[in-house]
Chain A
């Protein structure tokens, strides 16, 4: 594919993202699983515990980007299976990667936009961001990575959003507990640290801690960024393969 064709496909991916934003941002499962659930989970953990604010905000930020970015992509494919919009997209002059990338763009944008809430909340409570560019890079990269992860959940050939959200919740909740959001990775036993290294959320939380003043991070920044980029590529490649396989079963 030439550069012109790639740019053309990118424009069409943006059109899909725009459509997703208009249709899915106020979708029930997106609001519940993307904003309300992580909010209540965080409150349940924080209330009654004496933890430093910058530690809490770093955890909240990581968790917010994770939950918001993984809440849009799982909803799109099952909804469009049910509403029979998928055949129109499949007949359009776009590759399956373009269609999926459009969904990732919409989801990542949602994650990035909502991440401003904990960042501003942290600043309001006196948290100092010492590495804003690293933090911004980490949030953007992680939002794309988690959105691509959400695509894997939605590759199940079903029209029932609840089935996909159930599977997605089953994976997302345990990941939050092993990713150093509530307990720093360094404080985990060696098996816990090994487990944490398998979660992409670990690297975002670590980057957030690096970016805020007075907290220790566990991995070097380059490792965090490289890990998020590698997870993004793996998730995108896996999602494309899985959706290619499941598309005929959805029609």
Chain B
């Protein structure tokens, strides 16, 4: 669906994106994660034909973005990283403008605009200028605009950034629905939980290079020593009391809980139960946690430094 080979972009002699290669399969939600300045937006802009690659190639459903930019762009929908509907036009006006830009016939455009506005709960405001909309409404409209041409591939650059919980949830639900309908989604996000929930595979980019690509759970398995046991006692206990526990890599306090990083969670649990008995403490809560995507992200991006 999307094939990227040795894609590179330099700005003032510095590599913003440095010989990256990956493929996105049809019907996949592909997450693209990276810290600020890692090269995410530059990559998305090259994939969507907004800027020209320095070298390397991008193919969207077989259309090379440099040789056939119009055909490649025709089958994609794009949500750039900032809300950018025309504020002086109405929601309806923005959708019709997008339809005209993508050559969607008038009747289809009107039908699709009605469907999308209803779906995004904006139909009542269809004739209002976008400048009167809240941030969440604008973002929903921008996503609706990107769907006017019924794209095969959807590029979403930080679609839920700065949105309230309800709007973000609606957008995530919409991504799931689109994916269920067979659409391919290329999602750039800062939110690890969002990537974890939505993506079939994730690429992590740092300093312009890809440090890992895999399914979220496989990525989590890659990093050892990151399993955790969390415990909370009825009486506060100092971290220093647990330095003698074997099998623990490190101990940290997290609110009213103690967090033990370990490769042997079972062994640690036994010792914690023994400790509570011998010190006459009651265990209020005890749980084991596997590494999160955030742990993977932090570890991989730190390792590269």
Contact = CB atoms under 8 A, between A and B. Distances in A.
Interface stretch (B94-102, B116-124, B172-180): B94-102
B74 A87 contact: no
B86 A91 contact: no
A87 B86 CA distance: 12
Contacts of A251: 45, 50-51
Chain A interface: which size bin? 20 to 34
Interface string B53-88: 000000000000000011101101010101111111
A88 B73 contact: no
Contacts of A83: 84, 86-87
Contact of B97 (A15, A84, A87, A95): A15
A131 interface: no
Given A22-B88, A22-B89, A22-B93, A88 B100 contact: no
Contact of B101 (A23, A84, A93): A93
A9 B88 CA distance: 24
Contact of B103 (A8, A87, A91, A247): A8
Contacts of B101: 12, 15-16, 89, 92-94
Interface in A234-251: 247-248, 251
A90 interface: yes
A84 B102 CA distance: 19
A89 B86 CA distance: 11
A177 to B, nearest CB: 35
B70 A84 contact: no
Contacts of A16: 101
A91 to B, nearest CB: 4
Interface string A3-31: 00100110110111011001100000000
B62 to A, nearest CB: 16
B4 to A, nearest CB: 17
Nearest to B75: A93
A85 interface: yes
Nearest to B145: A88
B102 A92 contact: yes
A19 B84 contact: no
B48 interface: yes
B100 A11 contact: yes
Nearest to B80: A87
Given A12-B103, A95-B70, A90 B49 contact: yes
A19 B88 CA distance: 10
A93 B70 CA distance: 4
B107 to A, nearest CB: 16
Contacts of A12: 100-101, 103
A11 B88 contact: no
Nearest to A83: B87
Contacts of A87: 45, 50, 78, 80, 82, 84
Nearest to B50: A90
A137 to B, nearest CB: 29
Contacts of A89: 101
B89 A23 contact: yes
A105 to B, nearest CB: 13
A79 to B, nearest CB: 10
Contacts of A15: 97, 100-101
A24 to B, nearest CB: 9
B80 A91 contact: yes
Contacts of A90: 49-51
A165 to B, nearest CB: 19
Nearest to B72: A93
A203 to B, nearest CB: 35
Nearest to B51: A248
A28 to B, nearest CB: 13
Contacts of B50: 87, 90-91, 251
B82 A84 contact: yes
A18 B87 CA distance: 15
A22 B86 CA distance: 11
B124 to A, nearest CB: 22
Given A90-B49, A91-B76, A93-B102, 9 more contacts: A14-B100, A16-B101, A18-B100, A22-B93, A83-B86, A87-B50, A88-B84, A91-B48, A92-B101
Interface of A: 5, 8-9, 11-12, 14-16, 18-19, 22-23, 83-85, 87-95, 247-248, 251
5 contacts: A9-B70, A12-B101, A23-B86, A91-B76, A93-B74
